[in-house]
A and B are shown apart, each in its own frame.
Chain A
Amino acid sequence: EVQLVQSGPEVKKPGESLKISCKSSGYSFTSYFIGWVRQMPGKGLEWMGIIYPGDSRIRYSPSFQGQVTISADKSISTVYLQWSSLKASDTAMYYCARRGCSATTCYIDTWGQGTLVTVSS
């Protein structure tokens, strides 16, 4: 069974750094793209960026370029999302998501359970 298991909820202060994780199992980790999706309280889904663990190719959505860093550790089948200096506006639920593709199109076929990040002074 394909599973994405995310790290637990975080409560941080503005200016602090944070790294959350998404551990994959049940498939070849280096063969699928994994992305991150933000959902602010009461709001919709926003695509943040994606990584291909096979060669560490990364692409960020323009809205998130420079705001977060996506990385992967192949040795433990884990993808990360990190911030160097959190803001209150980073308070949100963050989902990792596996991309499945056909010959011509892609969609999200597996979601992590979400990590709630709360940033408050």
Chain B
Amino acid sequence: SFVLTQPPSVSVAPGQTARITCGGNIIGSKSVYWYQQKPGQVPVLVTYYDGDRPSGIPDRFSGSTSGNTATLTISWVEAGDEADYYCQVWDSSTDHLFGGGTKLTVL
């Protein structure tokens, strides 16, 4: 079965760049989606199709993929970006597969 591996936590100072990775041997051939979930809130899609953003998501958020690793990059990190972030891929055999999530802490 497929697994998506994320680091449990990432810490960054305000104004710096945060990079959250998502690894898995299914990634290279699939589109990767990233969701942001703030405490007590519903997940929100922040990037899709490997890097496009839904309306309302600032361009500080970007997604990319290289080989079997996808990366969510958040530039000029703000306190309000503190949240859990989940990667997700879809495959016709596994449906929606989520990574374990990464807690972003803004120092």
Contact = CB atoms under 8 A, between A and B. Distances in A.
A45 interface: yes
A28 interface: no
Interface residues of A, number: 23
Contacts, number: 55
Interface residues of B, number: 22
Interface of A: 35, 44-47, 49-50, 59, 61-62, 95, 99, 102, 104-109, 111-114
Given A44-B101, A45-B86, A111-B42, 14 more contacts: A35-B95, A35-B96, A44-B99, A45-B88, A45-B101, A61-B95, A102-B49, A104-B31, A108-B35, A108-B45, A108-B88, A109-B45, A112-B42, A114-B42
15 contacts: A35-B95, A45-B37, A45-B98, A45-B101, A47-B98, A49-B95, A95-B43, A104-B31, A105-B30, A105-B49, A105-B90, A107-B96, A108-B35, A111-B43, A113-B42
